[in-house]
Amino acid sequence: MPRLVRHEATAPIKIEPQDKPVFICACGLSQELPFCDGAHKGCKAEDPKKLYVYDKKRKRIVEERED
Ligand code: FES
């Protein structure tokens, strides 16, 4: 069943429980969930007043509408 989930974050959540920090994806676009893979860089051009619907692979915007 398809699902539209609202993600408002445009950057990862940094966790530092280990020697090296771990970045958890907060934008929902990573191909390596739950970890950030840098895909959030595509969010920078998004208008915070709009709702973006991505394709199943979370790579391409298929719909853009006023929120
Ligand atoms: S926060 Fe989602 S890919 Fe980085």
The pLDDT of residue 1: 62
Q: How confident is the model at residue 2 (pLDDT cuts 50, 70, 90)?
A: low
How far is it, in rounded angstroms, from Cα 19 to Cα 32? Answer: 21
The pLDDT of residue 18: 81
The 3-state DSSP composition of the chain as helix, strand, coil percent (nearest 5) reads: 5, 25, 65
Query: For residue 29, how far is its CA from the centre of ligand 1 (angstroms)?
Result: 6
Q: Which residues contact 62 (CB under 8 A, 6 or more apart)?
A: 53, 54, 55
Q: From the alpha carbon of 24, which atom of ligand 1 is closest? A: 1
Q: Is 8 in the pocket of ligand 1 (CB under 6 A)?
A: no
The stretch 16-20 carries a mean pLDDT of 86
